[in-house]
Structure 1
Amino acid sequence: MRTRATVRQLAAETGLSVTTVSRALNGQDNVAPHTRELVLQAVGRLGHRAPRRRTGRTTVYVRCPYLLTDYFGIIVSAIAEAADLHGIEVVLNAGEAAQGSDALSRLPGRSDVDGAILILPPEPGEDLVRLRDQGVPFVVVDPRTAPPRDIMAVSAAHFTGARALMAHLVGLGHRRVGIIGGPREWLVTDARTAGYLAALADVGVLPGPSLMRFVTEPATEHGYRAACTLLDGADRPTALVGFNDKMAVGALRAATERGLRVPEDLSIAGFDDIDVSRATHPTLTTVRQPLAELGRMAVTLLTRLLDRHEHDALHVELATELVVRDSTGPVRR
């Protein structure tokens, strides 16, 4: 790890006063954005604050500002189990109410916490950069936006998984495929959409706006509504791909209401391979994310940060797997 640059060294590097540099590092509001960026660039050149050495029992702060459902619950459970194997205690901050808290800003001042794991953090990248520069070792699981420079992150190979799923549909003869995407501002939405489009482009197809819908929340009801609009169009798609399994379940409901047989009249696929994908009728074709491994890998990466190991790979992607079940079939002639 690089050694910590002092405030005076940063001041000399930037030509700013020691007071201004200190304010920028502490995230105070009375610092102009370009000044803060100047200081952070100097931190990147000279070295950032070194993580604290582990002494005795280690405590890790795990933040998951979402309901611990069959998606986030799997990740958090895996983190807790892996942390226990490493002799690490976990302090959990979870639930939707946690989205409005100032948990990140208070982390640097907590003497009872040695590091943090942040799951799909809703905070902007600047907040993560500030946390890094304040000396808190942390790992991001499934980043919502592109990870800032020098931020350790782990996610699934969303692009590769989405491309494999669409290639499966293309191989079944589907060319008019409706895409139900997640929130537009999420990094994972961009990656999965790009994967879908890449597989279609391989056979010379580029779906227009009429075949694409994006939702504000990746939930079953939003998938249902988006599927309704796609299926009620003048030229109905022969297949639908949902951002996740829950949205695909909503699409199944929309198809049933319209008397469409799956997969005879319409193929439907999801993403994630959570329990609901095996409970539907027909069972869902989907892409398996290694959710538990995401949690375990986050603990492994954090322990390396805490032990001050060198890192060459800062953003780790774990392989996904196409799971073909009964909800997809050949296009109806």
Structure 2
Amino acid sequence: MGTERRSRGTHEAALTIRDVAERAEVSVATVSRVLAGNYPVAAKTRQRVMRAVRELNYVVNTHARALAGVRTETVAFVLNDVRGPSFSAAAYGVEREANQRGRLCLICTTEGDQERELAFMQLMREQQASAVILIGGVRDDEQYRERYTEIAQGLHAVGSRLVLCGRPSLGADVPATTVEYDNEGGAYAITTNLLANGHRRILYLGGMLEHTTSVGRLLGYHRALADFGVAPDPTLIEHGEFTRVSGYERTRAWLQQGAGRFTAIFAETDMVAAGALAALEDAGVRVPDDISLVGYDDIELASDLRPRLTTVHVPYEELGRTAVRLAIDLKEGRSREGDQHVVLGTHVVVRQSVARLHH
């Protein structure tokens, strides 16, 4: 009778763990153990408790769980903008690996707002998240290193872990995990592909000048030119944003100056390449017959463009999965501090956007 009265009155009074215990005909302690998952309970008893939870539509009081010392382990993924296809692939990798490891995945977009990022970092420190993963290139200066060294140490003090994804290490003495990819090597390989096909005047559509992603890719470009004995032309190097619009506008501006100044374009991202391709098409310039074009990232769009884009494959999903795996393995004692810096490989995906020049 009491149980019926309680279930009928759920709109007037919030359900408690005692209501679940009464419905399942077990003790409050048994319900607590089942919900926490931190103590062995007989399978039939567990099923009875979970059936009662479903029937009553009982929701665990997270504040009560926290007071009892029970908390949900979380992994936080922090990025500027979730709409970018490369970072969304990394987010997918983070979520998949976190789920397999029994962690809840939280995603925070900062839109470049440092105060918002700091507030989220502080929240994750208070929640003692298993890992806080930051992705994307940065301006690697003294201010950046001081700021994130302090963040890494603060997280480490409460048993959390800062993970830097796709950006340089803060140093061996900083308690942070680093998961990079061969950024410079990928740019070297794709530039070599153009050079091996006879191209010498390669327009480089880069990103922000001091951005670590751009710095690495430009180094690879220059190293390939040097190995082929080609003197770099500073006028062929453009800096801008990693967007389709930026790729379109910069390519259009070059075409308006007159044809013949370059035979190929290396766009620093596939999105920039997509913009460049649109500008070339609008100007009646054929790819690859008139101008060859390559990108970087190998997002899904690269194989949807016509012609299909030759580009550098970056394993973004694996980047996200590795970030979670390294941090949790360290936390659970299956890995050592010395294993917390990994560099994943990149490779060129040859498609249809590069033609061989015949001198």
Shorter-chain TM-score: what band? 0.7 to 0.9
Structure 1 distance, partners of 2:315, 2:357, is 30
Q: Is the counterpart of residue 227 in structure 1 residue 242 in structure 2?
A: no
Q: Deviations over 1:161-187 (max 9, x none)?
A: 111111111111001101111111211
Equivalent position SS for 1:322: strand
Q: Do the aligned residues in 2 keep the contact of 1:99 with 1:122 (CA within 8 Å)?
A: no
Shift of 1:227: 1.8
Provide the aligned length of Structure 1 versus Structure 2. 277
Alignment of 1:90-239 (within 5 A): 90-94=105-109, 96=111, 100-101=115-116, 102-103=118-119, 106-107=122-123, 109-120=125-136, 124-134=144-154, 135=156, 136-143=160-167, 146-149=168-171, 150=174, 151-215=176-240, 217-233=241-257, 235-239=260-264
State whether residues 117 and 138 of structure 1, in contact with CA within 8 Å, keep that contact through their aligned partners in structure 2: yes
Aligned 1:78-97 pairs, distance under 5 A: 78-94=93-109, 96=111
**Inter-partner Cα distance in structure 1 for 2:326 and 2:125:** 22
Structure 1 stretches lacking a partner, 5+ long: 1-54
Please tell me the residue identity of whatever aligns with 2:88: G
Whether 1:325 aligns to 2:351 is yes
On the 8 A contact 2:178/2:341 being kept in 1, the answer is yes
Stretch deviating more after TM superposition (85-94 or 188-197): 85-94
Letter in 2 for 1:320: T
Shift of 1:104: 5.1
Structure 1 residue 263 corresponds to structure 2 residue 288? yes
Say which SS state the counterpart of residue 296 (structure 2) adopts: coil
Contact 1:220 1:248 in 2 (8 A): yes
Asked whether 1:73 is paired with 2:73, we answer no
Q: Give distance in 2, aligned partners of 1:57 and 1:262.
A: 52
What is the deviation of 1:315?
Answer: 3.1
Measure, in 1, the Cα distance between the counterparts of 2:79 and 2:278: 30
Looking at structure 2, the residues matched to 188 and 121 of structure 1 have their Cα atoms a distance apart, in angstroms, of: 5
Query: What percent identity do the matched residue pairs reach?
Result: 30
TM-score by length of 2: 0.71
TM value normalised by structure 1: 0.77
For 1:306 and 1:268, the matched residues in 2 are separated by 45
Gaps of 5+ in 2: 1-69
Matches of 1:57 and 1:138, distance apart in 2: 18
CA distance in 2, matches of 1:139, 1:266: 40
Q: Output one character per residue of 1:132-166: Cα deviation in whole Å (capped at 9) or x when no partner.
A: 222241111112xx432233211211111111111
Higher helix share: 2
Aligned residue in 2 for 1:51: none
- Counterpart residue number, 2:328: 303
- What is the rounded CA distance, in whole Å, between the counterparts of 1:292 and 1:245 in structure 2? 17
- What's the offset of the Cα at 1:116? 1.2
Please tell me whether the aligned partners of residues 68 and 95 of structure 1 are also in contact (alpha carbons under 8 angstroms).
Answer: no
Q: Is contact 2:270-2:295 (8 Å) kept?
A: yes
**Distance in 1 between the 2:121 and 2:137 partners?**
13
- Separation of aligned partners in 2, 1:330 and 1:313: 43
Residue 313 (structure 2) aligns with: 288
Q: 1:148 is aligned with what amino acid? A: L
Distance of 1:290 and 1:205 partners within structure 2: 30
Kept in 2, the 8 Å contact 1:64–1:121? The answer is no
The one-letter code matched in structure 1 to 2:99 is: D
The 1-side partners of 2:148 and 2:179 are apart by 15
Instruction: Give the Cα–Cα distance (whole angstroms) in 1 for the partners of residues 135 and 192 of structure 2.
Output: 30
1:121 and 1:322 map into 2 onto residues whose CA distance is 21
1: distance between equivalents of 2:146 and 2:221?
Answer: 30
- Provide the C-alpha distance between the structure 2 equivalents of 1:248 and 1:111, rounded to a whole number of angstroms: 41
Q: Which amino acid aligns with 1:129?
A: T
CA-to-aligned-CA distance 1:168-225 (integer Å, 9 cap, x gap): 111110011011111112111111111111111111112222100011x200011112
Shift of the alpha carbon at 1:109? 4.6
RMSD between superposed Cα atoms in Å: 2.3
The residue type paired with residue 133 of structure 1 is Q
